[in-house]
Each structure stands twice: as structure tokens, then as C-alpha cells.
Amino acid sequence: MRKKSKNKRKGRFKGLIITLTVIASIIVVFVLLCVSTYIPRTKGTDYNSDAVKNNYWITQKTMVSAHRAGRTLAPENTLAAFKACFENMAGYSVDVLEFDLHLTKDKRLVLLHDDTLDRTSDCVAVYGKKKVKPIDKTLEELKKYNMGYNFEIDGEYPYRSTTADLSYCRVCTLEEVLDYVKTQEELLGKKISYIIEIKNGKNDGYQAADLLAKIMSNYGITDRTIIGTFKGEVSKYLDKNHPEITRSAGIAEVFGFYFSCMFGLPLNNVKYKVLQIPYKDFVINFGKKSIVDYAHKYGIAVQYWTINKAKDIDHLNAIGADAIMSDNPKLCYEIVNA
């Protein structure tokens, strides 16, 4: 009984220490942020500076980016969504296409945001299979799934109908997307840029990076593509093995940038050229003109995700955001070009 009581007291003590540490950390961060409000900020962007001129992604106009190719308009990350961006435009256009890539079992790059197909496809409802991962399936196997099955619009599921055209709602490869967009570029007389996220980590992520670099080179889009990843090891791999690729900042790099900005510290030896950040989804408010101006001072572009509210799009456009990624590119276009 004594031993049990002693262990209980130790557990309580450990819990108390953790709680006090968390509280102390919050207080320290709060005090630092309060102090930081008195530090002079970078004011304005010099668009004639060499730092700005040397970054393709910094212009004097906010780029409109279709997040997951515009997931409110059509099933995300499918050719149906890309078609909505070009063929069903109805008075709007996009500058940048954003999507996510996974490596398949037979070493192909396919579009998918989640780690599995469960949320977006019919793999569970029709096939009774859960946790279907691209890395465990060949492209041929993945092609059987209906990627529009769970797409809802106005309370309806149009791709569940037995008469629905699923031609453009299958898992698609990176090459299929680039071929389609290339055709549209020729029709529009306009080049489209890309924001691509590598979802795999470690060895699969390295293989995905190598394959992506090769495909980008073959299609001639390396200079107008940003590669992002939440996998720190993949960022390091890109820096070492594919220095020709422009990548966005990783999580740790974003927070490093933020505190350098807040305390007016110099930003040195960064290996990214783009910040891809939320507005204020995670406690910190990144939607400040001082942040954009500070980034531009060092030739770093600032892009925001995922912005779907009209008032937020309007605000970020006003502070000089270089790109806004939205699930509703039509709404974004209308506000940015108002």
C-alpha cells in the first residue's frame, strides 16, 4: 500500500511540474510578445530591391491559388477540379495550382491530400476497405476508386449517382495534371505556376522528391514551382540534392522567422524563398503587414492558406500577400481583382 501511495504522490508531483512548466512557458511567451510590440518594424516593401526582383513569387499583385485545385468547386485533387479552374471559369482565373503528392507502390506520383483515401473516395462504403494508402497500392489498383464519392455540393453527392461521369474523378498522376494544364496554357496564352506538397516522409519522401524533380525538369516548370513539405528530413534532402528547386519554409523555420520578425533580428542563411502560413488559425496572427514587409526585405514571398472567408481574403490582399490559397478560387479572384 505504501509503495502504491508513494507512486501516486510521485505521479501527482510530476503532473504538477509539467503543469507549472507549461504555465511558465505561456507567461514567458506572452511577456516576450508584449515587449516585442515596442520594437520598430520594417515599413513598406521596396519592389525595386534586388532581393525582391530575384524572387519570382514576389510581385505587386496577389496571386490567386486554387487550394487542392479548388475543393469547393469540384472533388479535390482530381482532374475534375482542374477542369473547373479552366473550362468552367465563368469570369475568373487562377495564377497558381496547389496540390499534394503521394508515392505509390509502383513509384508513381499521384494527387492526394490525406494519408489515406478513406475520406475522399468510396474505398470504405463500396469496397469495405479502410486505411487505403497510396504507398501500399499500384496506380492501376488506385484507379478503381471514385474520388468524387464524398464530394458534397448544396447537400447533394453528385458523383454517387449510377449515371455520374467519373472520367475525371479517378486518382490522377502528376503527369496527367501537367499534360492537361499544358493544353490549357496554350489555349489561354498564359503560364500557370504550381505549389506542390510532398506528403511522404523519410525514404519514400526522398524517392518522391527525386521523381518530382525529374518530372518538373522534363515539363520545364521548375522555375515556377514551389515545393513544400511538413517533413523536415525531406526539406534537408531537397536542399542537399536538388538546390535548383524553390521550397517553402518548414514549421521550425516559420517560427524562427516569426520571432526574428517580432524582435527585429536579422535573418541570415535561410534556405527557403517562400513562407506558406495560415492567417490566425494557430493562436499566432500571421496576417500582419509588418510580417509581409519584413519577409520582403529578405526577398522572401508570403503566401497564406487556406483562406475562404471574404473578409480574410480582402485583408490579406490589402497587406500585400504574394498569394492566397483558397478552396474557392472564384471568390478569391473576385475580391483580389475588385
Task: Tell me the per-residue pLDDT of 116-139, one tens digit each, with 9 for 90 and over.
Answer: 999 999 999 999 999 999 999 999
Task: Say which amino acid occupies 107.
Answer: K
CATH code for the part of the protein at 50-336 = 3.20.20.190
pLDDT of 19 strictly over 90: no
What totals of helices (H) and strands (E) does the chain contain, helices first? 11, 9
Q: How many CB atoms lie within 10 A of CB 7?
A: 10
Residue 223: what pLDDT?
97
Higher pLDDT, 281 or 76: 76
Mean pLDDT across 259-270? 91
Residue 282: what pLDDT?
75
Mean pLDDT across 21-38? 61
Q: What's the rounded Cα separation, in Å, for the pair 35 and 30?
A: 9
Report pTM: 0.88
Determine what percent of the chain is predicted with pLDDT higher than 70: 89
Question: How far out from the chain centre does Cα 225 lie?
Answer: 12
pLDDT band at 20 (very low <50, low <70, confident <90, very high): confident
Name the least confident of 46-50, 107-111, 226-230, 322-326.
Answer: 46-50
pLDDT of 12 strictly over 80: no
Task: Give bridge partners of residue 156 from the DSSP assignment.
Answer: 153
Name the least confident of 9-18, 41-50, 100-109, 181-190.
Answer: 9-18
pLDDT of 38 strictly over 60: no
Mean pLDDT across 94-109? 98
Residue 74, class by beta-carbon neighbours within 10 Å (0-12 exposed, 13-18 middle, 19+ buried)?
buried
Residue 332, class by beta-carbon neighbours within 10 Å (0-12 exposed, 13-18 middle, 19+ buried)?
buried
Residue 25: what pLDDT?
61
Residue 192: what pLDDT?
97
Q: What's the rounded Cα separation, in Å, for the pair 253 and 143?
A: 37
pLDDT of 3 strictly over 60: no
Q: What's the rounded Cα separation, in Å, for the pair 269 and 285?
A: 25
Higher pLDDT, 73 or 310: 310
